[in-house]
């Protein structure tokens, strides 16, 4: 019986250590970034993919800042666009809204 109890305690100890290690790995934080110094380049995040206004779904268009249900429907109704500036020149979206999204969109041909 004593040997069984020792084995059970040993197994409990191993289990608690394993749980502690798993918890430590799960809550591990990344170290703060070092500030860039003159002459060094910092790695930049990859650019987000541009949204094609000629093929995006209504739901995708609505993820753009300032674009709701009505503007998304107007964008879809005005397709195809030769270039993204047609959203503004054809008054599909107001200039203020266009300014918010112009760096996030593209008008692919084809």
> Is residue 71 in some structural domain?
yes
Sign of the CA dihedral running 47, 52, 55, 58: positive
The count of domains in the chain is: 1
- Rounded to 5 degrees, φ, ψ at 94 are -65, 155
Residue 23 is predicted with a pLDDT of: 55
Question: 87: part of which helix (H) or strand (E)?
Answer: helix 86-89
> Is residue 58 in some structural domain?
yes
> Is residue 22 in some structural domain?
no
pTM of the model: 0.57
Sign of the CA dihedral running 67, 99, 45, 35: negative
> Is residue 62 in some structural domain?
yes
Task: Give the domain CATH number at 76.
Answer: 1.10.150.320
The pair of three-digit structure tokens given for residue 40, joined into one six-digit string: 């060094």
Q: Are 105 and 84 in contact (CB under 8 A)?
A: yes
Q: Which domain holds residue 71?
A: 51-106
Whether 42 shows a pLDDT value over 60: the answer reads no
- Rounded to 5 degrees, φ, ψ at 26 are -70, -30
> Is residue 31 in some structural domain?
no
> Is residue 91 in some structural domain?
yes
Name the more confident of 35 and 54.
Answer: 54
> Is residue 43 in some structural domain?
no
pLDDT tens figures, 49-108: 999 999 999 999 999 999 999 999 999 999 999 999 999 999 999 999 999 999 999 999
Taking residues 18-46, report their average pLDDT.
Answer: 54
> Is residue 55 in some structural domain?
yes
Length of the chain: 110
């Amino acid at each position: 019986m004593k040997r069984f109890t020792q084995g059970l305690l040993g197994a409990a100890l191993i289990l608690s250590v394993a749980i502690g290690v798993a918890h430590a790995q799960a809550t591990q934080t990344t170290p703060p970034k070092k500030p860039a110094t003159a002459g060094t380049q910092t790695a930049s995040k990859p650019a987000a993919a541009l949204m094609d206004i000629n093929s995006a779904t209504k739901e995708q268009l609505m993820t753009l800042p300032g674009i709701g249900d009505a503007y998304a429907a107007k964008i879809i109704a005005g397709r195809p666009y030769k270039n993204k500036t047609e959203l503004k020149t054809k008054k599909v979206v107001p200039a203020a809204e266009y300014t918010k999204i112009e760096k996030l969109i593209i008008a692919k041909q084809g």
